[in-house]
Amino acid sequence: MSFTAVVSGETAITARGPLREAAERVLGRLWIDEVPVRLASEDPSLWPSAGAAGAEGRALCWPSQPGPGRAALDRAGELRRQARADGLTEVALLGHGAPARAAELIVAAHRLAADDADDDEPGSPIMPLTVLDGPEPGPLLRLADDPERLGRTLIVVTGDDPGSDALRRVLDGLLRDGLGLPSAEVARRFVTVAEPRAAAAKRAAEAGHPLIEAPAPTAFGALSPYALVPAALAGADVPALLDGATAVLPSLTRPENNPGLVLGAILGGAVRAGRRTAVLGGYPAALPGIARWVALLLEETACGRLTPVVQDGGLPLQPADDLFLVTFDGRPRQDDATVTGPLAAQLVVWEYAAAVASYLLELDPLAPRHGAAPLTLDDGTGEPLLADGAAGQAVEVFTTVPELMAAPDLPALVDALAARIGADEHLAIVAYLDPDEARGQGGQVRRLAALLAARSRRPVTVDWGAGHPAIWNDHRDGGVYLMVTGNVVRDVPVPGRHHRLGMLQLARALGDARDARAAGRPVVRLHLQNRRAGLARLLDSAREGD
């Protein structure tokens, strides 16, 4: 089957078959509406939230916008040199969403490139960067249990999320009380990136932390200070990245041979044609994590109208008419669509494409996300319907979905859950657990996703409970929600607050479950009295129907 390719420099986008036809049907509208020029000029008439922000005098992070990130580089360079002089050799990023994952992607790609380079090539080493994006105690405890590592860690706080502030309070207390550092020394170990009027900026000023100002955060943050400052502090060659990104920008203003416009037309056109699930796969080893960043970007901008699934488990064994495959460095004659290009170009093109797809779907990708659900210790379902397993290791089941309430045990519940997922739906696992693949529950949860996908013959997505975007969107996203919570063995108190991180995480999960159910989404929550044993029981239950 023939395919069409759009090539600009090192960037190439291809589409074939129905996906190409769907894109061709909407490209004319994008040209007539002058979307390339309007995006390049940050036309506030594109989206209501852009107009509202302009009226308030607030700058927003627009797609493919390198200016604010470049403006922050000098200050970031000064802070990196100071950090190296102070013996700080690791970065902990307290942030969430697509910008935080973009920072992780940038650092991982630069670290891999540095490892592959000649040993004699000059350049400073790339520091490890760890993203802490929720109140799960596990990653923080691993840092606290290693005083030497904690003592050489630079902490970057991005945005104004209450969860990030809780982690900031904990780390501040660990540095003061655990390591005995004086206030001036503690202040040198924090950097804040925030909008000038944000509460985080005020807290940074009060604590004496360096502040780098940024536009109001949106999903389009890969080239913003929210991603680039932590990446620069970790030692990534951000100036070179921005030079590469800037070289791509002229191609995005053209009505023709515009890779971002074509990719956006592929995504938006596919959804308009009834293909609502994008399978992201074939990603190159040179860009580790790019598929996960793209998936989060699309989740946050498509408001549930498009479901991205990363091709590393959680996929059905048989294809379906509503799925389409987008591969990184893939096979143009076999894959539905392919995207090829260096990291800088991919960051630019994917953000631009997500904006174009949102325009085609009449969505507002710049709109602020809904605030977090009210914290509660009751998800509104009452006592557990059943507790499957031995005392202290049982899996407790909570749901109000009629088809699931009659299940007598966990295997029967898994059967009913798989049968409940419709032909045009997917299962969304939202795990309020430790995502580490080896030391946490990441490996077990992903194996569970693969088994449930095989059982239901539908895609299964996995998100970790740091504000799952689809829960907050205004569109029914065709998802059945499986929320997984669990007891913590060791909890961490939050200085200045009357709660601990594990309790905060559970309260957030229960509030999310209430909100998702109130929005009409079918929800089942499984609470693990013992995380590892409970997940092992879940995996056994999922295998019983194979």
Strand ranges across the sheet with 395-399:
386-388, 395-399, 523-528, 479-486, 426-431, 460-464
Hey, how many other C-beta atoms are within 10 angstroms of the C-beta on 495? 15
Residue 450 backbone dihedrals phi, psi, to 5 degrees: -65, -40
pLDDT band at 469 (very low <50, low <70, confident <90, very high): low
pLDDT of residue 73: 95
**pTM, 2 dp:** 0.94
CB atoms under 10 Å from CB of 282, counted, come to 17
Cβ neighbour number for residue 539 with a 10 Å cutoff? 16
pLDDT tens, 290-330?
999 999 999 999 988 999 999 877 777 667 889 999 999 98
Chain center to CA of 483:
17
Residue 282's pLDDT band (cuts 50, 70, 90): confident
Range of lowest pLDDT (67-81, 201-215, 294-308, 376-390): 376-390
Band (171; pLDDT cuts 50, 70, 90): very high
DSSP 215: P
Residue 468 has pLDDT above 60, yes or no: no
Domains of the chain: 3-32+257-360 (no CATH), 67-242 (3.40.50.10490), 386-543 (3.40.50.10490)
Instruction: Please say whether the beta carbons of 130 and 92 come within 8 A.
Output: yes
Indicate if the pLDDT at residue 117 is higher than 90.
Answer: no
| 116 token code pair | 């592959």
Q: Report which secondary-structure segment, H or E, holds 184.
A: helix 183-187
Residue 162 is predicted with a pLDDT of 83
On average, the pLDDT of the chain sits at 91
Distance (Å, whole) CA 104 – CA 15? 29
pLDDT band for position 46 (cuts 50, 70, 90):
very high
Q: How confident is the model at residue 120 (pLDDT cuts 50, 70, 90)?
A: very low
Half-sphere CA count of 467, side-chain side, radius 13 A: 21
Closest CA to 327 of 315, 316, 336, 314: 336
Per-residue pLDDT for 92 more than 70? yes
Average pLDDT of span 427-438: 94
Per-residue pLDDT, averaged over 367-375, amounts to 69
What is the predicted pLDDT for the residue at 439? 94
Which of 161-165, 383-387, 533-537 holds the top average pLDDT? 533-537
**Looking at residue 546, what is its pLDDT?**
56
